[in-house]
């Protein structure tokens, strides 16, 4: 099979998806449950949090860097759902800071229960950025390293909830269908011996892709999630999956404004509310979604590269490198995989 889908087939399939499928309104009740949505101060995260509150969640935690925006989101949810003032809480989370992620995860241990960690927060940039104090480029830090740092730190709480309340918590990561359109061009630097590791290549502005950086980060998410699910085993009491919300109106594309505007017209971009329905569906999906990629509210095929023999080898390499990075940030984090 080809490593990536032929462009004509890709665009035909996904334009048809955008034009012909509307995600259904979520109906699964969340009564008595606690859910965390990262990046929930705006966009898809905000609308997903609104759905959780509407569906009866006892606690909906908005995790965001901008606390002023988070408080406005809380007020908006309370106004539209008529939920009580104690339902929605705003917690500070900066995925550019490892210490902030660890502090957030430590706070999660104080919760009586945690039924879902919906990791929606992410960034898309055209230029190469490196945040002071972080070991990796901004999109790799935010979308991959910190996302899985938080996931692994919070897993024990999700597992504890499953065993204590005889329920099925979820760890859901919001990814993208754009993972179909990359094979990680930075791998060429490894073949040529320019860099010893893929992370080194991704963190070198001379060898890192620009417009392709976001799809690469999303492919890395898919690879990491599949290997995480495989490592934990199919009988792990927490449902682990990732979801593609489709092409939506959101602030994520602001760095690509002119191109994104044209794309939103051609692709019939979903509203943030409609796109958020896919997030809530994934966070409610059954065991059949364990370790899977969901799109259009059903288990879907991952990209050709992911399913190839080389893709499996890259998946294992990415897992080793990112886990080594996480061990350096939080020693003995691997014990949370038990």
Task: Determine, yes or no, domain membership for 3.
Answer: no
Do the beta carbons of residue 46 and residue 70 sit within 8 Å? no
Task: Determine, yes or no, domain membership for 6.
Answer: no
* pLDDT(263) > 60: no
The whole domain housing 238 covers 14-183+210-302
CATH number at residue 84: 3.40.50.720
Q: Rounded to the nearest 10 degrees, how much is the dihedral formed by the CA atoms of 40, 46, 52, 53?
A: 100
Annotated catalytic residue, options 214, 236, 290, 293 = 214
* pLDDT(18) > 80: no
Task: Determine, yes or no, domain membership for 334.
Answer: no
Annotated catalytic residue, options 59, 218, 236, 293 = 218
Per the annotation, the verdict on 218 as an active-site residue is yes
Structural domains counted in the chain? 1
Give the model's confidence band at 37: pLDDT under 50 very low, under 70 low, under 90 confident, else very high. very high
Task: Determine, yes or no, domain membership for 190.
Answer: no
Task: Determine, yes or no, domain membership for 281.
Answer: yes
Task: Determine, yes or no, domain membership for 1.
Answer: no
Sign of CA dihedral 205, 211, 217, 220: negative
Q: How far apart are CA 21 and CA 297, in angstroms?
A: 10
Q: How far apart are CA 187 and CA 209, in angstroms?
A: 11
Q: What is the pLDDT of residues 67-91, one digit of tens each?
A: 999 999 999 999 999 999 999 999 9
What share of the chain has pLDDT > 90, as a percent? 77
Task: Determine, yes or no, domain membership for 332.
Answer: no
Confidence at residue 262, expressed as pLDDT on a 0 to 100 scale? 46
- Poorest-pLDDT segment among 35-39, 117-121, 183-187, 265-269: 265-269
* Count of H-run helices and E-run strands, the chain: 13, 8
Segment 213-227 shows an average pLDDT of 96
Q: Nearest-CA neighbor of 123 among 108, 111, 134?
A: 134
User: CA of 153: how far to CAs of 45, 72, 255, 336, in Å?
Assistant: 21, 28, 31, 7
Task: Determine, yes or no, domain membership for 125.
Answer: yes
């Amino acid at each position: 099979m080809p490593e990536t889908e032929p462009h004509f087939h890709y665009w035909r399939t996904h334009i048809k998806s955008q034009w012909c499928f509307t995600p259904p309104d979520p109906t699964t009740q969340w009564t008595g449950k606690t859910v965390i949505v990262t990046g929930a101060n705006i966009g898809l995260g905000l609308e997903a949090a609104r759905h959780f509150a509407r569906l009866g969640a006892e606690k909906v935690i908005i995790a965001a860097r901008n606390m002023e925006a988070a408080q406005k989101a809380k007020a908006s949810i309370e106004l539209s759902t008529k939920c009580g003032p104690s339902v929605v809480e705003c917690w500070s989370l900066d995925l550019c800071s490892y210490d902030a992620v660890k502090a957030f995860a430590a706070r999660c241990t104080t919760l009586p229960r945690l039924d879902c960690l919906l990791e929606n927060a992410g960034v898309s940039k055209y230029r190469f950025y490196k945040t002071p104090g972080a070991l990796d480029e901004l999109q790799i830090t935010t979308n991959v390293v910190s996302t899985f740092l938080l996931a692994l730190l919070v897993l024990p709480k999700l597992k504890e909830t499953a065993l204590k309340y005889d329920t099925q918590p979820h760890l859901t990561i919001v990814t993208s269908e754009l993972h179909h359109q990359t094979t990680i061009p930075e791998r060429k630097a490894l073949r040529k011996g320019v860099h010893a590791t893929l992370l080194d290549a991704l963190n070198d502005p001379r060898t890192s892709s620009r417009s392709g950086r976001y799809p690469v980060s999303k492919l890395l998410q898919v690879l990491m999630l599949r290997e995480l699910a495989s490592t934990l085993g199919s009988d792990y009491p927490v449902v682990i999956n990732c979801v593609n919300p489709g092409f939506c109106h959101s602030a994520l594309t602001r760095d690509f404004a002119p191109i994104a505007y044209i794309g939103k017209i051609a692709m019939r971009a979903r509203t943030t509310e409609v796109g958020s329905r896919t997030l809530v569906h994934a966070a409610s999906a059954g065991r059949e979604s364990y370790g899977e990629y969901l799109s259009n509210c059903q288990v879907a095929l991952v990209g050709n590269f992911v399913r190839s023999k080389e893709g499996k080898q890259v998946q294992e390499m990415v897992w080793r490198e990112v886990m080594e990075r996480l061990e350096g940030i939080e020693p003995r984090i691997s014990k949370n995989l038990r």
